[in-house]
Structure 1
Amino acid sequence: MNETHPAAQGTARPLTVADALALPVLAAGQPLVVTGEAGLDGPVRWVHITELTDPASFLKGGELVLTTGMPLPQDAAGVRRYVDELADVGAAALVIELVRRYHRPPDALVDACRVRGLPLVTLAKDVNFLEVTQVVHALLLGNQADAMRRTQRVHEAFTALTLRGAGPEDVVRAAAEMSGRTVVLENLVHQALICEPSGGTVEEALTGWEHRSRATGTGEGTVVQGPEGWLTAPVTYQGERWGRVAMLPAGPDGPAFGPEDRTVLERTAMALTVARLIHPTPWEHTAHRNALRDLVEHRHHSAEDARARCAALGLPADRSRFVAVLVDLPSGGGGQEAEARLLQGLHATGVAGLVGELAPGRVGVLLALRPAQPWRPVVEQVCGAVPGGEPRPVVSVGSEVRDLAESARSFREAARVAEATPGGLPLPEGRSFHELSDIGLRRLLYALREDTRIQEYTERQLGRLIEHDTQHGSDLLTTLRHYLDAAGNKTTAARRGGLARETMYQRLRTIERLLGRDLESGEERTELHVALAALDALRAR
């Protein structure tokens, strides 16, 4: 009687008719399914041995009914009535032993069971019915105890999440891990803010999300509904419905939702309600922020996942052109306030996009532009929402890209523009932002100022001249600057420096001697000019 079965191993799946027939104690009787194959996946709630002509009066539904066939009526009408009563009460299956009264099932019994869809199973050999009840009941009671323990673990896990102030991402992730199913949190306008796929991809879970979600309908409480059979539960905030959490089925051939799934989803909704009170930042902002960071850092599993996720947030991922904008705040703080203002400014333009803080003091905006829509006027409007103050935030823009998957490149270009833009640098005429074409030699060197190769080059080219000025109180570096800015024209350089020509000649000879350079050489003048630009960039830190 030491039977083993998957249902005894701590899984949430109930014991089915097929499971019971596979147990050695029943398998020894050589069971044969005569009718009702479709009902073999039905759950078995109990086992009932009967030799009564009206056993249904003692049943409550879900029983595996065992009989030797002795009480079966002789007439076909009586057999139909016997089967109808079992089917009406919801018996799981009728198992008849073909050893004593019958050696094959009566035709009337087979016909009646086929009409009602009741599984009819015959046993060719003698089986100890009492042993069957002991084995099956032990399994069922063990399952109940396991289910209670699992339910307790679910409650404890969500209580711990709530006590440590877990955010919505942690709560939804825990629900997906406990249930082994995909769990999605959405708001009232059917935007999927958080998706934790289980056994699938984000693309599979979120493709066509808004249409599928609206088709599911809105139910009260924790219910299975919609054409796909989602299990959903409402999430409230301050007493009003804020959104809902959905648990997606495991596929057409996957197991149905069970009581444990409902418990997980109900506790998920409760924990999210508490998290909404603890974390006041709008979760839409957090969803935008996380989606942008994943795009910038290539954290999506695939381009298709990225498109599905962004589309589920309301971004038209099928748009043909995308532009990245970065806003760097001078103080390095106030990102959430700037995030809110930029989102409001973006809404005012009527252009779809995502807004989120990518790093402390840096807010990113991704614009999804309609075909032939110019991006510059849109960026100018967005710049109008940038917080004021001095120095003003630096707004940098990347180039247009033709696919959402390439938006990371646009953000990288915008970041390079920002790196090459000193704080307080005047804006280009007629513009409120900087772009890649604005980066000349000086701004390129400013971006590279932390590179030790640039520092070493500058010191090698100009170090002796700077040391001479420091020791003697001279200003030969300025003289060299005037000379190089005048493209080697000594007269112009002397005038700019307020020097006599002879004095200029004398200083240039001293510079040549100190640096070991020929200032008449165009190539050497270029090298020194680059070194001076690099020195300016280094001193601008």
Structure 2
Amino acid sequence: MPGRDLDTVGRPITVADVLALPVLAAGQPQVVTGAARLDRPVRWVHITELTDPASFLKGGELVLTTGMPLPDEPAGVRRYVDELADIGAAALVIELVRRYHRPPDALAHACQARGLPLITLARDVNFLEVTQVVHALILGSQADAMRRTQRVHEAFTALTLRGAGPEDVVRAAAEMSGHTVVLENLVHQALICQPSGDTVEAALADWEQRSRATPSADHTTVLGPESWLAAPVEYQGERWGRVAMLPTPPGPAAPSASGPFGPEDVTVLERTAMALTIARLTHSDPWERTAHRSVLRDLVEQRHRSPADADARVTALGVPTKGSRFLAVLVDVPHEDDRTKAEELLSEDLRKRGSQALVGLLGPTRLGILLSLRPEQPWRPVVEHLSRTALDLLPGTSVSTGSEATDLTGVAHSFRDATRVAEATEPDQPLPPGRSYHERSDIGLRRLLFALREDTRIQDYAERRLGRLADHDARHGTDLLTTLRHYLDAAGNKTVAARSGGLSRETVYQRLRTIERILDCDLESGEQRTELHVALTALDVLRVR
């Protein structure tokens, strides 16, 4: 077996690692039994020529022998092997130089029966040199492990001191361990998932079913059919959920799923659970609300790596996606102090009514709601009830809806539509007859211009078309803009305009001629009247405060 460089960073030294060392590889080691158990950790190396070496062992030793003390009778050989297996020896290495030139059948059969790796050496090996090299590696590995453990403790202490939230804690755990880490609540909803090496889709697929198949425990341990490393998150007997570290899935970099997690992984997860407990106690927002906000913002800003990842995250939060339609709703509350109350109560109201939704803050005074609707379920009654609840809770609240989306890839567009509706809604905008929310069909000319009011091109247009008339009114104390408004609202009917302004027709005629002269326009032109009407509407919305 050729030698190779030994890389055991972050894990115990195994039998396979020791066999690969040049000092032992020079003996041409051959694995006779237990080839599948060469991943056993080696705690120490023990040289022995005794017939009862197990009495000097504590478990985890690689036993080196020339074979000289082995009993001749099969029963004695079986007893020798049973004692090594019972004490938990890592492997038995026998040199085939002095007494034996092939392993005794009784020894091979006994090791095979007990699952004890048996390795033969065809050439003479300096056992003392083997112990020196391996012990140096073990001690060095233990020192490295202690330093890494110290760094883990320091990292989580720093997170706690700076008041890190649950997402920061889970992200740190995934980065330190190299494993995917998931925080779930008591009803097996995956609230935070930080993937490492795989996708969110792979990590969260059928999460609730897989999680329920993984039993809970009162301490950090490996559990369930997928061998998750899990730790409860609790405080003084009150459990809030658990945090799970997932094994590395098979792949080119990991031919088979990783076996038991190392001590450092256990330390990382235990410190993760502790940091999450502290975060829960020091942050007033429940985990579920934080999770909804995070997923909602990622959907709005299209920050998911793939549609499948987005689907997995939303589904893992208990919101159905398969066969569902989606609708974005924005709730703008009057004051920033109202947003948390609105978020909590609207979430609770939707839950009581059986409506599936994500609810989260999107701005200082804005809540975002993503409704998940059944194929046959009309959305207007759901939004109407939601809007009336919001208005009853906080008068002055404005609710805007976007367009329907057939899948999660259309959710960002639905929120953009809802945002346009909200931007086109003036303060104290009258509600449409028969409903308590605003939608895209409500956007007419005035609301469109209101949405664009900060665009300097709109401002420039209004000033170029009507600035001279407004200046004239300001300098001379006249009210020609009002006369123009009455005339345009009357669609060019001078008699109606005179009645609206309480003026005589002759006065209106005179004022219209003055307006034409100041603006250098023809008020008999339908096109120019339209241009002036747009400019006047723009001027109105620009004056809204």
So what's the TM-score if we normalise by structure 2?
A: 0.95
Deviation at 1:389, TM superposition (A): 8.0
| Structure 2 counterpart of 1:429, from 426, 433, 436 | 433
In 1: Cα distance, 2:64 partner to 2:178 partner: 36
Deviation at 1:76, TM superposition (A): 2.7
Q: Which amino acid aligns with 1:218?
A: S
The answer to whether residue 347 in structure 2 is matched with residue 346 in structure 1 is no
- 2:115 is matched with 117
Partner secondary structure for residue 415 of structure 2: helix
- 1:5 is matched with 6
Partner secondary structure for residue 518 of structure 1: coil
- 1:33 is matched with 31
Deviation at 1:540, TM superposition (A): 1.2
Pairing 1:3-152 to 2, within 5 Å after superposition = 5-7=6-8, 11-152=9-150
Q: Which amino acid aligns with 2:7?
A: P
In 1: Cα distance, 2:34 partner to 2:348 partner: 61
Partner secondary structure for residue 400 of structure 1: strand
Q: Would you say the 8 A contact 2:333–2:394 is kept in 1?
A: no
Deviation at 1:390, TM superposition (A): 8.1
Q: Which amino acid aligns with 1:358?
A: L
Q: Which amino acid aligns with 2:354?
A: G
Q: Would you say the 8 A contact 1:44–1:62 is kept in 2?
A: yes
In 2: Cα distance, 1:223 partner to 1:184 partner: 15
So what's the TM-score if we normalise by structure 1?
A: 0.96
Q: Would you say the 8 A contact 1:237–1:276 is kept in 2?
A: no
Of 418-427 and 311-320, deviating more is: 311-320
In 2: Cα distance, 1:30 partner to 1:389 partner: 80
Q: Would you say the 8 A contact 1:349–1:382 is kept in 2?
A: no
Deviation at 1:308, TM superposition (A): 0.7
- 1:519 is matched with 523
Summarize the Cα distance change of 1:15–1:316 in structure 2 as closer, same or farther, 3 Å threshold.
Answer: same
Deviation at 1:461, TM superposition (A): 0.7
Q: Give aligned-pair identity as a percent.
A: 73
CA offsets 1:152-181 (integer angstroms, 9 cap, x no match) = 222222222222222111211121111111
Aligned length: 536
Q: Which amino acid aligns with 1:330?
A: P
- 2:253 is matched with none
Deviation at 1:24, TM superposition (A): 0.8
Q: Would you say the 8 A contact 1:338–1:387 is kept in 2?
A: no
The answer to whether residue 527 in structure 2 is matched with residue 535 in structure 1 is no
Partner secondary structure for residue 213 of structure 2: helix
- 1:288 is matched with 292
Consecutive unaligned residues in structure 1, runs of 5 or more: none
Deviation at 1:256, TM superposition (A): 2.3
| Structure 2 counterpart of 1:205, from 194, 203, 220 | 203
The answer to whether residue 376 in structure 2 is matched with residue 375 in structure 1 is no
In 1: Cα distance, 2:269 partner to 2:395 partner: 49
Partner secondary structure for residue 5 of structure 1: coil
- 1:493 is matched with 497
Consecutive unaligned residues in structure 2, runs of 5 or more: 250-255
The answer to whether residue 278 in structure 2 is matched with residue 274 in structure 1 is yes
Of 131-140 and 62-71, deviating more is: 62-71
Pairing 1:356-505 to 2, within 5 Å after superposition = 356-386=360-390, 388=392, 392-505=396-509
Summarize the Cα distance change of 1:151–1:452 in structure 2 as closer, same or farther, 3 Å threshold.
Answer: same
CA offsets 1:248-275 (integer angstroms, 9 cap, x no match) = 1112522421211111111111111111
Q: Which amino acid aligns with 2:66?
A: T
Of 325-334 and 132-141, deviating more is: 325-334
Q: Would you say the 8 A contact 2:222–2:260 is kept in 1?
A: no
Deviation at 1:116, TM superposition (A): 2.5
Of 184-193 and 444-453, deviating more is: 184-193
CA offsets 1:334-357 (integer angstroms, 9 cap, x no match) = 211110111122123211101111
Partner secondary structure for residue 48 of structure 1: strand
CA offsets 1:28-80 (integer angstroms, 9 cap, x no match) = 11111122211111111111111112222222221111111111222233223
